[in-house]
Each structure stands twice: as C-alpha cells, then as structure tokens.
C-alpha cells in the first residue's frame, strides 16, 4: 500500500507511512530544541541587559572566545595547512 522511502536525514529505509513517526522519534532532538530558541535568545538578551557594563564586557569576551574556539575546531588544520603550504610553494 505505502511506498518504501528513504529518510532524508539519516538515510534509513522505511515505510512511507512510518517516515514521519521515524523522524519524530529518531530526530526528535533537532525538532525539540529549535522551536524554543527565539525565546531563549530573548531571555538571554533580557538578562544581558540587566547586567552592569563590566559584566556585559565579560560576557562579550567569553562569547568571542567561544566563537573563536568553535572556528578553530571547525577548520581544524586543513584549510590553514593548505594555505601555509601554498604560501611556501
């Protein structure tokens, strides 16, 4: 009756009628987090606005450090290495 389809998220083969249930169960984490994000951002901004100028500066420095760390991990060697190799040649 229903076709056999592939989950576009993980590639698992399943019955089309089961696909939505599979996505809801197997990939629940992604869906569960996203809808609340605007409220979380709003709450953080509200709290941030209540901080003193000095504390806001500490928060900004920490966020910046976190962002730089994430960037370093994401690009982990490869592009930077390639760039320096190109520079050498």
Rounded alpha-carbon distances, angstroms, from residue 66 to 18, 41, 42, 62: 40, 17, 20, 6
What are 16's two structure tokens? Answer: 């089309």
5 touches 19 (CB < 8 A): yes
For Zn ion, which residue of 4, 9, 40, 44 counts as binding (CB under 5 A)? 9
Our CB check for Zn ion shows the closer of 5 and 26 to be: 26
Least Å distance, CB 24 to Zn ion, is 10
Our CB check for Zn ion shows the closer of 31 and 76 to be: 31
Residues binding Zn ion (CB under 5 A): 7, 9-10, 12, 26
């Amino acid at each position: 009756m229903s076709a056999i389809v592939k989950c576009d998220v993980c590639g698992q083969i399943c019955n089309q009628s089961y696909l939505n249930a599979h996505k809801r169960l197997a990939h629940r984490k992604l869906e569960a987090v996203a809808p609340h994000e605007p409220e979380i951002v709003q709450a953080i901004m509200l709290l941030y606005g209540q901080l003193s100028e000095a504390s806001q500066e500490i928060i900004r420095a920490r966020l910046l450090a976190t962002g730089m760390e994430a960037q370093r991990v994401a690009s982990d060697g490869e592009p930077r290495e390639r760039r320096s190799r190109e520079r050498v040649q």
